[in-house]
Structure 1
Amino acid sequence: MWRSTALAAVAVLVCGGCGDNGDDTTAPTTREALPSPVLPAPPPEFWSQVPQNREQRATVAQATRQVDVCAVLPRERLRTLGEIQSVTVGLDSCRAIIDSDVPGAGTTLTWHATLLPELPPGQGDIKRIGEANVRLVPDRDTGAPRSCGATAQFPAGAAFYLGLTTPPGTNPCARADELVPGMIERWRQSPPQGTSPDTVPTVLLGADPCAVRAKLPDTVLDEEQRLTQCLFGYRGQEITVGYEYRVPEYLAADSTEEHIDGRTVHRSVSVYDRTIPIYTAAVGPELPPESTAFGTRVPIVEVVAATDEVARDVMSAVLTLFPQR
């Protein structure tokens, strides 16, 4: 069964922006870049099957990247909580402010996708909702909580986290308890990137940071699977390739500008070990104003290696995945 549903999930590539809904005029409307191609939505039972090997885990990771996380808690559900002040996005996350943006006066919700083979030991109550394991953790052991975290983990190894802060006199864990079942069901439907009008298309949406391995010889994939980073061995070094949205001013901070294959790249060093080079490059335009929290963001790729020669080699390959437009 796992093989049949996995093959259905990876059979063809489709456009991730086809589900865009422009009816909600309160959401961002700028569409400057198309999302990366995405996999077709797998059937709901895909998320209930435990992967048995690295290849199957990689398929789950890629399917997880295709889920439009904002669509897992859409505006129509948020409106039942109060007046929406804003909805902002990250590469694999969404954030909503309800009723008031004054700290402590309104409700703030943040939720993001992740990979979690199992719920690790920890505090909080665990229960089953369908085939998902759900843990609720209040911010304090005694007294009324002001914030609460909820993690829902599927047998396939995908998971999402929901964090809430609520005004005094309301129980954030009770609110999370109300929201999570619907989020689980919407996740099982695998809404593709672009389903939510709040999700801003960029070249990084749904993109696999391990895709660069196909352009490099003799790489060895690390056992750990991540959504927005790939760890692998190459030329005798441990390589990290990461995708994210970053404040544009931080891109060039404490760095020197270089050019690789005609593209501008910024070289910096690790704050933990100044002998380790870090190469960073923007691969798309800035996201629309007000679509991201705490300032404008730009999609970037980043490569970390032990030497400049290898880091440049890998960055050159990564940039071919994101040709200039």
Structure 2
Amino acid sequence: MRRSPGTGIHAGSSTRRRPAGRRRPAGRRRRGLTAITALLLVVVTFAVGACQSDSEAAAVDRIWFEAATTDGQNWELMRRIREVDPCALVPRSALEEHGAVREVRVGSAMIAACRATVADASTELEISWTLARAPGGSAVEEDRRVGEVAVEVLEPGNGDTAGNEVNACWVTAQFPSMAQILLTVKAPPGTDTCGVGDTLIDTAIAQLPTSPPYGTSPDTSRSVLTGADPCEILPEIGATPTLPVVENQLVQSCRTGEGLAATIAYEYQDAGEIFHDEITTIGGRQVFVLRFGEGEQIGYSFVAGPPVAANMVPVVSVLGSDQPLVERARDALMRKYPAA
């Protein structure tokens, strides 16, 4: 059996990095980025400095600073998140302050995400960042503020659950809208990953209010899933989104029906590591089949287009306990995203 669904970022046994160098245990569970069964996501916002000119203030998109409290407001917030160029949140000029930029590209399981490799003579940094809406009931535990934005910093202890040495830092910026930017910095021992993360998250906080569209960054790649709404297919199969939005929907996944009836997920995966138990052919097309929940749930995944970067391909998945509904959604999605 291939990997089970559910990739994520975890703090493991961690300590919380506090301003002024004070640390305390961080016992609460770290929200993760999940790939099939419980899909993830996280989001942020920035305040305008008093010294900004009128023209600069006019460019600020207030959607990031206004609380999304209704279903309609949350649908709109997620739509707007899908339109933001993730790589533009941390420009190359900001990355270059920490070394030579070897690569910047979209990637990871998240579509609204970007990653970079930065190196100097002594070390190499792996940096990734994601824009999303915080799941219902989720909020950062504030370490500091940047205007209206709450910032949380988490760093791991001396090792992960397997006993391996870890040097990483997770920084989350949360805007009043509950949009969040999650930024991760990993490096060899001896590197101040949280120092780097703190600096780069401030850059991202400053960039989001302008809502940079796709194409702002020269490093961004589009795919057939760029800006796509995973709930768009529901009317075709006679289904409706599960409500309320804040408790049931995420930027790149859509739930329909009660409980675990069916979930549609849009994401990027390594072409050689698409989650599955078996591979079958449906309509002349390769489909990856996954069974979980002690056989009570089934999932289908297929590649929706050419690679977006390196080996990362756009993948559409639908899974759940209502197999007829899952199969109707699968077939409709395969029509929507035909094989190249």
Question: Is the TM-score greater than 0.5?
Answer: yes
* Partners of 1:119 and 1:160 in 2: CA distance: 13
For residue 160 of structure 1, what is the aligned residue in structure 2? 181
Distance 1:233 1:128, change over 3 A: same
By how many angstroms is 1:221 displaced? 1.8
Partner of 1:111 in structure 2? 129
Deviation of 1:177 (Å): 2.2
Q: Shift in Å at residue 213 of structure 1?
A: 1.8
In 1, the alpha carbon distance for the partners of 2:189 and 2:274 equals 39
Describe how 1:206-217 pairs up with structure 2 within 5 A.
Answer: 206-217=227-238
* 1:310 corresponds to: 325
CA contact 2:280–2:289 (8 Å) conserved in 1 = no
Whole-Å separation in 1 of the counterparts to 2:328 and 2:143: 46
Q: In the superposition, relative to structure 1, how do residues 281 and 87 fare at CA in structure 2: closer, same or farther (>3 Å)?
A: same
Match of 1:51 among 68, 73, 97: 68
2:81 is matched with which residue?
A: 64
The answer (yes or no) to whether the contact 1:277–1:305 under 8 Å persists in 2 is yes
**Residues 260-314 of structure 1: CA distance to partner in whole angstroms, max 9, x if unpaired?**
xx46252523233224221212211123xxx34xxx1221111113244322211
Show the counterpart of 1:146. Answer: 167
Q: Which residue of structure 2 lines up, in the alignment, with residue 300 of structure 1?
A: 315
Amino acid of the structure 1 residue aligned with 2:319: V
Tell me if the contact between 1:126 and 1:135 (Cα under 8 Å) persists in the aligned partners.
yes
Q: 1:227 aligns with which of 238, 242, 251?
A: 251
Is the alpha carbon distance of 1:87 and 1:45 closer, same or farther for their aligned partners in structure 2, counting shifts above 3 Å? same
Structure 2 counterpart SS, 1:196: coil
Alpha carbons of structure 1 residues 246 and 165: separation in structure 2 relative to 1, 3 Å: closer
Q: Tell me if structure 2 keeps the 8 A contact 1:255–1:267.
A: yes
3-state DSSP class of the match of 1:87? strand
Whole-angstrom distance in 1 between the partners of 2:230 and 2:172: 24
What's the offset of the Cα at 1:50? Answer: 0.5
Number of equivalent positions: 268
Once residues 44 and 263 of structure 1 are traced to their aligned partners in structure 2, the CA distance between those partners, rounded to angstroms, is: 46
1:71 aligns to what SS in structure 2? helix
Distance in structure 1 (CA, Å) of the matches to 2:270 and 2:242: 29
TM-score for both structures, normalised by structure 1: 0.73
CA distances 1:102-126 after superposition (whole Å, capped 9, x unpaired): xx9322211111211676365xx52
Paired amino acid for 1:306: S
Kindly tell me: are residues 301 and 121 of structure 1, through their superposed partners in 2, closer, same or farther at Cα, counting changes over 3 Å?
closer
Counterparts of 2:312 and 2:233, CA distance in 1: 23
Which residue does the alignment assign to 1:247? 270
1:26 maps to none
Deviation track 1:51-96 (CA, whole Å, cap 9, x = no partner) reads: 1211111110111111111110111211111111222322222221
> Alpha-carbon deviation of 1:218?
4.3
Matches within 5 A, 1:1-325: 43-90=60-107, 91-99=111-119, 105-116=123-134, 120=139, 126-140=143-157, 146-223=167-244, 224-233=248-257, 238-251=261-274, 254-259=277-282, 262=283, 264-287=285-308, 291-292=309-310, 296-323=311-338
The answer to whether the 8 A contact 2:140-2:150 is kept is no
CA 1:202–1:241: 2 relative to 1, 3 Å: same
**Residues 102-154 of structure 1 deviation map (CA, whole Å, 9 limit, x = unaligned):** xx9322211111211676365xx52221211111122239xxx9322110011
SS in 1 for 2:292: coil
Match of residue 7 from structure 1: none
**Identity over aligned pairs, percent:** 28
CA distance in structure 1 between the partners assigned to 2:167 and 2:266 by the alignment: 33
Structure-2 change in CA distance of 1:135 and 1:121 (3 Å): closer
| Matches of 1:52 and 1:204, distance apart in 2 | 27
Query: Residues 252 and 184 from structure 1, CA distance in 2 versus in 1: closer, same or farther, beyond 3 angstroms?
Result: closer
